[in-house]
């Protein structure tokens, strides 16, 4: 009887544990709830300087360094008294109870096992899962999850003098719920910073509705800015973030981002934003919808829709290159269905030109595509395929019309000696046009094409004596292709896009590919294959150009195209070097027409480096770099820069992101310097209370 009562005493004090009362008339108590069922077979160890039973009062008394242990639960106190008749338990003198769920400390405790109610004087409570610390002059346990504190305080920081805490005259804490208080004050260390007449703070790990931490800063384009976001946990599969922004030079911004996950793999994000115009600025708005998921009867819906009122929106709110300098936005919504080797896609594509009047911008409303992938005809080594599309081109002003275009093709696959693969193919492209307005009415054309490809692969496996890398496979792939398209007059056809003019081709192309693949074996694991080197060289020879008639003495034929080299080097899984370059052998001076490099390295501890260089003759010549540093913990640094090397070049953008990450709070600072804008932004987060995120993605931490 004594052991059961003491076990009940321990269980009743823990956060979230059910309360079970013992029957004082029974010699044995059979628990019927989960927590006690799990512990009823655990032995109870009692250590005390003195342990006795008072028959007159019917109480058990343990005194002097009392330590009671049952499984993972331990009670320590100077004195413990249990009354089986009233189910009253009292403990005094450095009372502490610890378990995997939490920890309770105080000077004295009085608890009724039957009701589960009790009081702890000068108590402290730790809820481990949320690292939530609560302290008060008196902690009253109202039920298995709810505590009431007089002159209480709470924090998620460890230590006797936490970095921050809230104090309140009247505080109620519900595990997996909220901490609610009246006349609350926010402290940094011992310095009072903020007063609020009412406070609500989450005491849970799951998402919950509530305000996220505000952010503020300054921008030359937007002026002083303050953002107050609100997060709404609609359901397990839906949530939303609402934004209210004050921008002194632009106006009041209102935004909403809705995220959802439904059955059938339907996942999406809807983002809306509007800002009032001030100081002569126009009102601006934008919307974006991304969706991917299945419809009934195995149809798939995909949406990548974006619309903005003007280019100014991206110039004001764009965060990365390619966004703040956009010159158009596209909306594409498609529905497609696959049948084994067939595919049918219907889509609409609407483009808004942000640089000029949109009346002459060509829209595809709609476009229907049908494809039959390559498939064998019976037992013959002959394969057939088809690709066709019907597109209606529309615009407010200018040529409109419909194009019906299809290309059937036949090919043969021949593998003599299983060494070389030869695949000739012949196709025929047929086009029909119906135009209105300025068009010719009806036109059609047909052009055939022929191509053949010869390829082979050689490889060798080299055994190694390494501890991890045991083999390396080197393969060499060679391919040669010939393509012929006759020169047909197509000037009578309307011209909507590049598919309306099929270029004459009489060309050879050839390529050489090298691959190195390592076999990595770890004890107790399946082998892993890692391709650490990929190198491909390709070039074309234009037969038509080699036969072209020279018009003057200084003219010369240049049948060889640029030599393209592609290199992908992966020394480790955390490092990469990617080079893609084209070299023109016909030039005396700088021979590269394009040169692109990407490299990255991460050490797995938060440090990383990314570099990139882009060159396209006469158009692009810039470099970018990004560095992540965690070596200054608890300060984390991210630095990005883009630099232009072309005429009138210089720095395009610099971005510095700093995060000071404490055990229970973080401070964020962002500095961005572009040619037409300089801005800085501050934000702050407390553990358990989320930080606001970009309107293009969910908050970094949600309540």
Q: How far is CA 196 from CA 169, 251, 594, in A?
A: 11, 28, 61
Are 556 and 545 in contact by the 8 Å Cβ rule? The answer is: no
Instruction: Write down the residue that tokens 């919504």 correspond to.
Output: 333
DSSP at 424: E
Q: What is the pLDDT of residue 23?
A: 40
CA dist list (Å): 282 to 285, 288, 590, 690, 703: 10, 20, 47, 33, 35
Question: With contact defined as beta carbons under 8 Å apart, do 37 and 27 qualify?
Answer: no
Count CA atoms closer than 13 A to 328's CA, side-chain side.
13
Beta strands in 212-320 (DSSP E): 215-219, 223-235, 238-247, 251-262, 266-275, 284-294, 300-308
- The two tokens of residue 368 are 């229907």
Query: Computed from CA positions of residues 39, 44, 48, 51, in that sequence, does the dihedral angle turn out positive or negative?
Result: positive
**Residue 638: what pLDDT?**
96
Identify the segments of the chain with pLDDT beneath 50: 1-5, 11, 16-41, 693-703
Dist CA 329 CA 311 (whole Å): 9
Contact between 393 and 363 under an 8 Å Cβ cutoff? The reply is yes
Residue 220: phi, psi to the nearest 5?
Answer: -65, -30
Cα-based angle 597, 601, 606 (whole degrees, multiple of 5):
140
Residues in the chain: 703
Residues 6+ apart with CB under 8 A from 646: 620, 621, 622
C-alpha 334/C-alpha 389 separation (Å) is: 14
Place of tokens 């190195």: 516
C-beta separation of 116 from 19 below 8 A: yes
Domains parsed from the chain with CATH numbers: 1-91 (no CATH), 117-205 (2.60.450.10), 207-352 (no CATH), 357-362+372-561 (no CATH)
Among candidate residues 73, 78, 131, 133, the one with its CA nearest the CA of residue 109: 78
pLDDT digits (tens, 9 = 90+) for 300-352: 999 999 999 888 888 777 765 556 678 889 999 999 999 989 999 999 999 99
Distant-in-sequence, close-in-space partners of 72: CB < 8 Å, separation ≥ 6: 99, 100
Q: Are 351 and 362 in contact (CB under 8 A)?
A: yes
- Annotate 390-402 with DSSP letters as a single string: EEEEE-SSS-EEE
The C-alpha torsion from 188 through 194 and 196 to 200, rounded to 10°, is -40
Rounded to whole angstroms, the maximal C-alpha distance in the chain is: 128
Containing H/E element for 592? strand 592-602
Rounded Cα distance between 242 and 698, Å, is 11
Burial of 503 (0-12, 13-18, 19+ CB in 10 A): exposed
Q: Which two tokens stand for residue 301?
A: 């819906």
What is the number of alpha carbons within 13 Å of residue 618 lying toward its C-beta? Answer: 1
The C-alpha atoms of residue 671 and residue 689 are separated, in whole angstroms, by 24
Beta strands in 486-527 (DSSP E): 505-520
Q: Would the CA dihedral through 263, 209, 141, 161 be positive or negative?
A: positive
The number of angstroms, rounded, from the C-alpha of 217 to the middle of its chain's C-alpha atoms is: 25
pLDDT at site 691: 56
**What's 15's DSSP letter?**
T
Burial 95-109, CB ≥16 within 10 A → b, else e: bebbbebbbbbbebb
- Which of these, 372, 443, 363, 373, lies nearest to 403 by C-alpha position? 443
**CA angle, residues 695, 696, 699, in degrees to nearest 5:** 65
Tell me the whole-structure pTM to 2 decimals.
Answer: 0.76
The closest of 625, 681, 626, 675 to 653, measured between CA atoms, is 675
Report the alpha-carbon distance of residue 277 to residue 376 in Å, rounded: 63
212 touches 699 (CB < 8 A): yes
* Of 331, 283, 279, the residue nearest 310 (C-alpha): 283
Residue with token string 């940094």: 188
Six token digits for residue 689: 């209370």
């Amino acid at each position: 009887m004594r052991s059961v009562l003491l076990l009940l005493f321990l269980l009743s004090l823990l956060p979230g544990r059910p309360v079970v009362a013992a029957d004082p008339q029974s010699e044995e108590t059979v628990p019927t709830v989960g927590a006690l069922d799990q512990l009823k077979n655990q032995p109870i160890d009692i250590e005390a300087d003195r342990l006795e039973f008072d028959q007159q009062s019917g109480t058990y008394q343990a005194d002097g360094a009392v330590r009671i242990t049952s499984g993972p639960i331990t009670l320590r106190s100077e004195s413990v008294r249990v009354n089986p008749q009233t189910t009253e338990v009292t403990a005094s003198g450095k009372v502490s109870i610890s378990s995997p769920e939490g920890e309770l400390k105080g000077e004295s405790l009085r608890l009724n096992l039957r009701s589960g109610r009790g009081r702890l004087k000068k108590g402290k409570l730790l809820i481990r899962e949320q690292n939530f610390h609560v302290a008060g002059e008196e902690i009253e346990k109202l039920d298995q999850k709810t505590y009431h504190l007089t002159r209480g305080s709470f924090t998620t920081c460890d230590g006797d003098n936490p970095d921050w805490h809230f104090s309140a005259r009247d505080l109620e804490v519900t595990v997996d719920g909220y901490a609610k208080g009246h006349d609350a004050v926010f402290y940094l260390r011992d310095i009072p910073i903020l007063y609020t007449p009412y406070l609500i703070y989450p005491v849970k790990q799951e998402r919950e509705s509530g305000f996220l931490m505000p952010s503020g800063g300054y921008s030359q384009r937007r002026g002083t800015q303050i953002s107050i976001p609100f997060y709404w946990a609609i359901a397990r599969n839906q949530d939303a973030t609402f934004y209210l922004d004050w921008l002194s030079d632009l106006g009041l911004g209102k935004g909403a981002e809705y995220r959802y996950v439904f059955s059938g793999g339907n996942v999406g994000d809807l983002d809306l934003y509007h800002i009032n115009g001030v100081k002569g600025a126009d009102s601006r708005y934008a919307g974006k919808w991304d969706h991917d998921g299945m419809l009934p009867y195995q149809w798939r819906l995909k949406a990548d829709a974006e619309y903005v009122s003007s280019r100014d929106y991206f110039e004001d709110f764009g965060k990365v290159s390619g966004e703040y300098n956009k010159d158009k936005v596209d909306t594409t919504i498609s529905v497609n269905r696959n049948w084994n080797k067939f595919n049918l896609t219907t889509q609409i594509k609407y483009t808004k030109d942000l640089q000029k009047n949109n009346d002459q911008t060509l829209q595809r409303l709609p476009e229907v595509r049908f494809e039959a992938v390559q498939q064998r005809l019976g037992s013959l080594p002959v394969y057939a395929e088809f690709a066709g599309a019907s597109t209606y081109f529309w615009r407010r002003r200018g040529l409109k019309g419909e194009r019906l275009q299809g290309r059937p093709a036949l090919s043969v696959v021949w593998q003599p000696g299983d060494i070389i693969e030869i695949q000739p193919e012949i196709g025929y492209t047929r086009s029909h046009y119906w135009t209105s307005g300025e068009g010719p009415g009806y036109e059609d054309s047909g052009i055939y094409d022929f191509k053949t490809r010869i390829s082979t692969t050689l490889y060798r496996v080299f055994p190694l004596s390494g501890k991890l890398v045991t083999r390396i496979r080197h393969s060499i792939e060679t391919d040669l292709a010939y393509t012929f398209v006759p020169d047909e007059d197509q000037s009578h056809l309307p011209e909507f896009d590049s598919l309306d003019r099929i270029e004459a081709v009489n060309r050879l192309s050839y390529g050489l590919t090298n691959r190195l693949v390592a076999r990595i074996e770890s004890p107790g694991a399946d082998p892993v294959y890692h391709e650490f080197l990929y190198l491909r060289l390709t070039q074309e020879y234009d037969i038509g150009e080699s036969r072209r008639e020279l018009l003057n003495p200084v003219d010369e034929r240049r049948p060889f195209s640029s030599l393209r080299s592609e290199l992908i080097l992966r020394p480790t899984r955390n490092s990469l070097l990617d080079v893609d370059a084209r070299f023109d052998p016909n030039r005396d001076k700088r021979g590269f027409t394009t040169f692109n490099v990407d490299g990255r390295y991460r050490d797995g501890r938060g440090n990383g480096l990314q570099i990139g260089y882009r060159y396209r003759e006469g158009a692009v010549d810039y470099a970018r770099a990004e560095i992540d540093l965690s070596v200054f913990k608890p300060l984390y640094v991210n630095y990005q820069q883009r630099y232009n090397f072309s005429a009138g070049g210089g720095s395009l953008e610099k971005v510095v992101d700093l995060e000071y990450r404490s055990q229970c709070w973080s401070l964020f600072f962002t500095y961005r310097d572009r040619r037409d804008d300089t801005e800085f932004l501050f934000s702050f987060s407390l553990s358990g209370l989320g930080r606001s995120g970009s309107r293009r993605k969910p908050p970094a931490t949600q309540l």
